[in-house]
Amino acid sequence: MKHIRPLIGSAALLTALGAHAIEYTQVQPEKSALNFSYQQMGVKMDGQFRKFAATLNFDPAKPAAAKASFEVDLASVDTGSSEADQEVAGKPWFNTKLFPTARFVSSEVRPLGGNRYEVAGQLTIKGKTQPVVIPATVSTLGKNAQFDGGFTLRRGDFSIGEGSWAKFDIVANDIQLKFRITASSK
């Protein structure tokens, strides 16, 4: 009986810890960012999207059950130049009048060990949907978690830059997207 009490106590403690698992669901837009970089005539250019919405459901104890989605307001593009922002929002590039948003919806989250994951899902831009796999890391501190990741988007796959912009001699095909999403638990 003397040896059973510590086992019962340990089981109760583990059950209590499991019952208090932290699930990160409350995205904090003011602490989150969606940035991009690309090459234009051989020069690295940087920008960001100022408006996007994200939904998240992530429990570090059950990463395979995680879900995430992003919806990006393409007209909120900030290239650092209002003239370039208007050009990119136009028909040859994002065509925001017809396609105001880009959307990503996860279908699978695969743990890679430590704080590293692969998030697979569908990315839709300008009415074209492509599968993507996004490497990401998660850093947790109490009730907050920070999700960092990025991937290379090939603009030609989504007809971003049509007509005279369809070639990749002036603006490169590869666009590096990077995100930082901060979320808290309920």
Q: Which H, E and C letters describe the chain, residue by residue? A: CCCHHHHHHHHHHHHHHHHCCCCEEEECHHHCEEEEEEEECCEEEEEEECCEEEEEEECCCCHHHCEEEEEEEHHHEECCCHHHHHHHHCCCCCCCCCCCEEEEEEEEEEEEECCEEEEEEEEEECCEEEEEEEEEEEEEECCEEEEEEEEEEEHHHHCCCCHHHCCCCCECCEEEEEEEEEEEEC
pLDDT tier at 21, thresholds 50, 70, 90: low
Has residue 15 been placed in a domain?
Answer: no
**pLDDT tens readout for residues 108-163:** 999 999 999 999 999 999 999 999 999 999 998 879 999 999 999 999 999 999 99
What pTM was computed for the model?
Answer: 0.85
Has residue 2 been placed in a domain?
Answer: no
Which range marks the domain in which residue 55 is found? 21-185
Task: For the chain, give the mean pLDDT.
Answer: 89
Residue 4, pLDDT above cutoff 90: no
Has residue 44 been placed in a domain?
Answer: yes
Total domain count for the chain? 1
Residue 15, pLDDT above cutoff 80: no
Has residue 13 been placed in a domain?
Answer: no
pLDDT, mean of residues 54-80: 94
Has residue 37 been placed in a domain?
Answer: yes
Has residue 11 been placed in a domain?
Answer: no
Task: Say which CATH number the domain at 83 has.
Answer: 2.40.128.110
**What is the pLDDT, as a whole number, of residue 48?**
97
